[in-house]
Amino acid sequence: MTSPDPNYGIRPSLAELIALRARVVAWPPPQRAHGSASGLATSPARGRGMDYAESRLYAQGDDARHIDWRVTARTGVAHTKVFHAERDRVTWLIADTSPYLFFGTRRCFKSVLAAQVGALSAWAAQRSGDRISALRGSQSEAPLPPAGGSRGALRALDALNRWYQAPLLDDLGLDVALQAAGRVCKPGSRLVVLLDPRSIDNLSDARLTALSAHHDALAVLLVDPLELAPPRAQLAFAGPASRIELDLSDPQLRLAWMHAFAERFDAACMRLRRLGWRALAMRTDEPADQVLTALLPYRREAA
């Protein structure tokens, strides 16, 4: 019998990331509109774009962020801006490579889940016809030039595989990565940010709002079940220089744990949504292809 890979779940495998393309290929494809058919069919055009086309009366369900305040003030009736559809979109994978991600107690490390989610996002972008790029918080490594097709996806997968093998000494944090995104991402891009909830503590509301205002911004928050619901038991952890033991049956210690992890996670999700981001929680004990629900539409089933 072949022994299991000792790095399984601890470090990503490029072959595994490439194989995830099959999950995307098998995903229910969007139903496109044909002829005079009406309903919830998906248009071939991708995204709402960022080039202003016109203003029209506001309708229930329109994004309040796109209200045309000048026309609304002039007419006394709410109007919303309409944009040309974006047909040359770039999907940017923005990787949080902080040490927080190199931890896990179920199935895999959060870093491995980040690589898997990023790979699925790259293959989903390739299927949608987007060009693909990736970046992280670093001064020594520039963002990948956007490229389409399998070439763009494979370059992004190679970068994710390298970045999530082990903690990086030159990691400068998520804030630096988002600063770079603000400089290089064309308005109307899709941003898929892979992050630990703790990494947004030092991000300003202004930076997050500016990105969500100009892009389709999705934050994938990576968590481990132990962080959200620890057992009432004594647990041992290996620290940088010593072994740490925590008795999580102690009410005060358990309360401190929940404040440090679960409450922070809930607060991070609420803050991102308040600032215009889509927020998706991904646990290490759940299948990574759940991210496809946020990236690819379901096919409408016949009645």
Annotated domain spans of the chain: 14-28+86-295, 52-83
- Tokens at residue 258, please? 């929940």
What pLDDT score does 8 carry? 75
- The Cα 140–Cα 215 span in angstroms is 26
Q: Tell me the per-residue pLDDT of 110-137, one tens digit each, with 9 for 90 and over.
A: 999 999 999 999 999 999 999 999 999 9
* CA 153, chain centre distance (Å): 16
What pLDDT score does 123 carry? 97
Give me the mean pLDDT over the 16-29 stretch: 90
Which of 57-71, 131-145, 234-248 is predicted most confidently?
131-145
Decide if pLDDT at 288 tops 90.
Answer: yes
Using pLDDT thresholds of 50, 70 and 90, give the confidence band for residue 151: very high
CATH topology for the 14-28+86-295 domain: Rossmann fold (3.40.50)
Which of 230, 236, 263, 264 has its CA nearest to residue 249? 230
- The Cα 193–Cα 195 span in angstroms is 6
Give me the mean pLDDT over the 148-174 stretch: 96
Is 0.85 topped by the overall pTM? no
Scanning the structure block, which residue is given the tokens 């994004």? 63
Q: Tell me the per-residue pLDDT of 45-59, one tens digit each, with 9 for 90 and over.
A: 444 455 566 788 877
What pLDDT score does 66 carry? 83
Q: How far does the chain reach from its first CA to its final CA, in angstroms?
A: 49
Which of 299, 295, 268 has its CA nearest to residue 119? 295
- The Cα 131–Cα 157 span in angstroms is 14
- The Cα 65–Cα 29 span in angstroms is 29
SS3 sequence of the chain = CCCCCCCCCCCCCHHHHHHCHHHHHCCCCCCECCCCCCCCCECCCECCCCCEEEEEECCCCCCHHHECHHHHHHHCCCEEEEECCECCCEEEEEECCCHHHCCCCECECHHHHHHHHHHHHHHHHHHHCCEEEEEECCCCCCCCCCECHHHHHHHHHHHHHHHCCCCCCCCCCHHHHHHHHHHHCCCCCEEEEEECHHHHCCCCHHHHHHHHHHCEEEEEEEECHHHHCCCCCEEEEECCCCEEEEECCCHHHHHHHHHHCHHHHHHHHHHHHHCCCEEEEEECCCCHHHHHHHHCCCCCCCC
